[in-house]
């Protein structure tokens, strides 16, 4: 995510009114962030992680994984597009049909790029913690680590081995061997 665009107080409505110029626009606490198209390695990591999470959640009736572009807005001064995110499904089995139906996230994932590191690690992290997102993962492809944040954390857990996530106690945990994952998605590319 790039630097803030202006000192003007932005809202989700103002961002939605912008013309489509292939940039990603996000608003965190009224601050506009503009992000250019991501790099190929970024997309390889996003795609690989999405596949693993989708396989884990296949057939589950309690959550669904999605990938940006998105339009997640819990407040008028917030609009985010996490690279990957997991939304809860209602107890009646209803999946969200509109972006406005998403009122909570079980997981938000951002894959770092040089232009997004500051916002991903600071502004968006604070937002996701404040909003009670179950976990927030900052994936660093260069360092081949995942910074795991939970709402109450003052510092991230740095995961270099097996990334484990257990959002639903009645279900086996999601487990991902990070060294093998990064080797697979970044090797020979």
Q: Dump pLDDT digits (tens) for 155-166.
A: 999 999 999 999
- Strand, helix or coil for residue 176: strand
**Which of 156, 94, 146, 95 minimizes the C-alpha distance to 125?**
156
**Residue ranges of the domains in the chain?**
38-71+80-186
Q: And the tokens for 168?
A: 């639903």
Fold of 38-71+80-186: tt1808, chain A (3.90.1570)
Q: Over the stretch 87-139, which tens digit does the pLDDT of each residue have?
A: 999 777 678 778 788 889 999 999 998 888 888 999 999 999 999 999 999 99
3-state SS track over 137-159: EEEECCCCEEEEECCCCCCCEEE
With 80 as the cut, is the pLDDT of residue 2 above it? no
| Residue 89 near residue 81 (C-beta atoms within 8 A) | no
Distance, CA of 189 to CA of 108 (rounded, Å): 26
Say how far apart CA 129 and CA 42 lie, in whole Å.
Answer: 24
State mean pLDDT over 57-86.
92
Q: How far apart are CA 87 and CA 100, in angstroms?
A: 12
Is residue 189 helix, strand or coil?
coil
This prediction's pTM: 0.87
Residues in the chain: 189
């Amino acid at each position: 995510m790039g630097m803030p665009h202006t000192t003007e107080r932005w809202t989700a409505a103002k961002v939605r009114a912008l013309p489509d110029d292939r940039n990603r626009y996000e608003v965190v606490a009224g601050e506009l962030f503009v992000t250019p198209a991501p790099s190929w390695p970024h997309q390889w990591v996003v795609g690989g992680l999405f596949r693993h999470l989708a396989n884990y959640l296949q057939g589950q009736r309690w959550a669904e994984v999605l990938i940006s572009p998105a339009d997640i807005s819990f407040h008028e001064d917030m609009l985010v597009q996490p690279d990957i995110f997991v939304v809860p499904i209602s107890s009646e089995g209803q999946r969200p049909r509109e972006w406005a139906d998403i009122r909570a996230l079980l997981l938000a994932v951002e894959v770092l790029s040089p232009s997004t590191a500051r916002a991903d690690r600071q502004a968006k992290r604070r937002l996701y913690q404040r909003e009670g997102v179950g976990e927030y993962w900052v994936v660093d492809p260069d360092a081949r680590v995942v910074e795991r944040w939970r709402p109450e954390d003052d510092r991230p857990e740095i995961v270099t081995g097996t990334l484990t996530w257990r959002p639903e106690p009645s279900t086996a945990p999601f487990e991902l061997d990070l060294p093998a994952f990064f080797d697979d998605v970044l090797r020979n590319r």
